[in-house]
């Protein structure tokens, strides 16, 4: 065993070390016997002076399993200084195992031969610093963690942001596409609306239950109802007062919309009558087509319709005309046949007077017949535009003398002339004569017993106006507009007047061809004034 610091100078040095605040111990020999330990070191160890002289392991049994004995051995064997920072050591202090941290040095002390005979151990308790470091590290760790979390969140945020951006772009794109589509839709809707509103046909749409849901302006005009009134009804609402063509009420199941719904197929050009409350019956031709939804189920119907009253009236007039014409032709033919048969069978037995009467009756029937045939021929020539006036200059007096003298002689009706009949006109005398004869014969026929006035006057427009005036029963106002139409005849409460209803039509055509005007004024039970004008 080496003596350590044997002289008094050394003792003084040891004393300095003992009192030093730096923890110091000196171990000697391979067992690391504690040769010296100061109070500062004992405080660290949590031991008292009794450890002096014990080996390292004896003094600090709790160090077993910790690396210090090994390090001491290493220093002893290699002679190399060992320095440590912040190294943990667990020591039993006041009965408790306490881990503290130390900066320490194991410094080998060598003799003159270069052998290590002692190890100087100095230590500083850096637990506080370690704690501070630990706190700093923990804080740094936390910050790091927070930073990492923040970075991850930031990353996520970036990704999300990018996704959002992308979604936003897609959204903007799809909004602009939607806007474009809406614009296309709007303009096609507008086009459709314009078509529906300007269409010459009425159009109504019904839902699956037959309830009207739309009616275009023409439908409102034809039906004489506003859209809200129409939408208040089903297609077979009894308020429409729909009729069959024979005038009987139209049952719901016969309505073209019902037929279409029942069969699921379109119905074309089906005519029905409509009797509105305060109007005359009118006729419409309906096309009914089904509407199917995307699954092919019946979803409603579209009805387009036109007012065909005029067409129907012409057809009706033609039908009436054929029956009237047959009847009108049959009457004189029967009379003619009867007269001729009688003459054929018994002319040699009949007295002269009777034969003359039969012959004149036959002649009258023949004349009547040829008049009817002439009217028919005139009408068909008029329709084809073949009747051109052959104009000549004549005075109205001459015309009346030529055409009316026979008529005046044949009838006991008084016919008087008024006004200026000496004016010269340029016209077709035969055709104008026909118009005057027609007016006069009508007055004789429809105003029996009345005086007839034929008047001529010059109008402010330099025309000659001829009127035939009677004091007969007159004509209802609502009929006046129709008198000059083809086949039109008024019904005189069962009174039977023969005629084809062509005379006034032919007259109107003649006057029109002469560039004149024709008309009638009439008042019930006061009489009528039929007139025409010719340019002078």
- Contacting residues toward ligand ADP, per CB under 6 A: 438, 442-443, 446-447, 470, 472, 475, 483, 488-490, 499-505, 528
d(CA 10, CA 2): 14
Instruction: Give the separation between CA 222 and CA 272, rounded to whole angstroms.
Output: 13
Calpha distance 33→118 (Å, rounded): 9
Give the closest residue to 439 by CA, choosing from 468, 416, 461: 468
Which lies closer to ligand ADP via its Cβ, residue 43 or residue 326? 326
Q: Which is nearer to ligand ADP, 90 or 490 (CB)?
A: 490
- Neighbour tally for 156: CB within 10 Å: 10
Residue nearest to ligand ADP (CB): 499
In whole angstroms, how close is the CB of 324 to ligand ADP at the nearest point?
9
Residue (223 or 500) nearer to ligand ADP, CB: 500
Q: What is the C-alpha separation between 327 and 321, in angstroms, rounded?
A: 10
Nearest approach, Cβ of residue 521 and ligand ADP (Å): 11
Tokens (6 digits) for 138: 């923990």
CB of 248 or CB of 495, closer to ligand ADP: 495
Minimum CB separation of residue 393 from ligand ADP in Å reads 28
* Shortest CB 449 distance to ligand ADP, Å: 12
Least distance from ligand ADP to the Cβ atom of residue 314, Å: 16
> Which residues have C-beta within 8 Å of that of residue 265, sequence separation ≥ 6?
290
How far apart (Å, rounded) are the C-alpha atoms in residues 338 and 505? 32
Q: Among residues 332 and 501, whose Cβ is nearest to ligand ADP? A: 501
Torsions phi, psi for 448 (to 5 deg)? -60, 140
Q: Which is nearer to ligand ADP, 454 or 483 (CB)?
A: 483
Cα atoms in the 13 Å half-sphere on the side-chain side of 523: 2
Distance of closest approach, residue 320 Cβ to ligand ADP, in angstroms: 11
Tokens 């069962």 map to which residue?
494
Rg (CA), the chain: 67
| Residue 246 dihedral angles phi and psi, to the nearest 5° | -85, 5
Q: Which is nearer to ligand ADP, 202 or 501 (CB)?
A: 501
Burial of 273 (0-12, 13-18, 19+ CB in 10 A): buried
CB-based contact 515:535 (threshold 8 Å): yes
CB of 357 to ligand ADP, least distance (A): 27
Question: What count of residues does the chain have?
Answer: 536
Q: How far is the CB of 370 from ligand ADP (least distance, A)?
A: 15
Q: Which is nearer to ligand ADP, 438 or 467 (CB)?
A: 438
């Amino acid at each position: 065993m080496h003596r350590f610091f044997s002289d008094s100078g050394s003792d003084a040095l040891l004393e300095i070390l003992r009192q030093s605040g730096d923890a110091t111990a000196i171990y000697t020999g391979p067992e690391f016997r504690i040769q010296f330990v100061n109070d500062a070191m004992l405080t660290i160890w949590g031991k008292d002076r009794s450890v002096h002289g014990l080996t390292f392991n004896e003094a600090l049994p709790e160090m077993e399993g910790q690396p210090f004995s090994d390090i001491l051995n290493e220093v002893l064997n290699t002679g190399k200084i060992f320095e440590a920072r912040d190294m943990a050591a667990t020591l039993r202090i006041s009965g408790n195992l306490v881990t503290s941290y130390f900066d320490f040095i194991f410094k080998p002390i060598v003799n003159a031969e270069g052998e290590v005979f002692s190890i100087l151990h100095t230590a500083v308790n850096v637990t506080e610093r370690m704690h501070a470091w630990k706190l700093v590290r923990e804080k740094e760790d936390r910050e790091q963690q927070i930073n990492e979390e923040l970075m991850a969140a930031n990353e996520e945020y970036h990704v999300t942001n990018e996704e959002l951006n992308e979604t936003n772009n897609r959204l903007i794109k799809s909004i602009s596409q939607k806007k474009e589509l809406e614009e296309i839709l709007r303009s096609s809707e507008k086009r459709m609306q314009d078509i529906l509103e300007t269409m010459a046909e009425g159009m109504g749409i019904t839902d699956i239950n037959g309830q009207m849901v739309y009616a275009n302006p023409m439908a409102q005009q034809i039906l004489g109802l506003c859209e809200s009134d129409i939408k208040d009804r089903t297609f077979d609402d009894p308020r429409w007062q729909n009729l069959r063509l024979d005038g009987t009420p139209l049952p719901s199941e016969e309505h073209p919309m019902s037929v279409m719904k029942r069969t699921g197929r379109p119905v074309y050009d089906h005519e029905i009558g409509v009797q509105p409350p305060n109007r005359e019956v009118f006729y419409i031709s309906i096309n009914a087509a089904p509407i199917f939804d995307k699954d092919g189920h019946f979803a409603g119907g579209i009805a387009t319709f036109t007012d065909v009253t005029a067409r129907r009236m012409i057809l009706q007039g033609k039908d009436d005309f054929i029956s009237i014409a047959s009847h009108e032709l049959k009457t004189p033919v029967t009379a003619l046949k009867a007269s001729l048969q009688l003459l054929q069978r018994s002319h040699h037995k009949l007295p002269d007077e009777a034969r003359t009467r039969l012959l004149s009756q036959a002649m009258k029937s023949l004349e009547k017949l040829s008049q009817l045939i002439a009217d028919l021929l005139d009408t068909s020539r008029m329709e084809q535009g073949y009747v051109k006036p052959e104009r000549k200059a004549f005075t109205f007096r001459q015309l009346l003398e030529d055409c009316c003298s026979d008529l005046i002689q044949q009838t006991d009706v008084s016919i008087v002339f008024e006004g200026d009949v000496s004016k010269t006109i340029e016209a077709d005398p035969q055709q104008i004569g026909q118009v005057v004869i027609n007016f006069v014969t009508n007055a004789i026929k429809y105003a029996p017993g009345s005086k007839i006035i034929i008047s001529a006057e010059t109008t402010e427009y330099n025309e000659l106006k001829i009127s035939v005036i009677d004091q007969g029963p007159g004509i209802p106002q609502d009929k006046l507009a129709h008198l000059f139409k083809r086949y039109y005849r008024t019904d005189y409460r069962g009174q039977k007047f023969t005629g084809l209803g062509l005379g006034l039509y032919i007259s109107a055509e003649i006057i029109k061809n002469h560039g004149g005007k024709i008309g009638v004024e009439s008042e019930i039970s006061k009489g009528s004034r039929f007139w025409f004008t010719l340019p002078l």
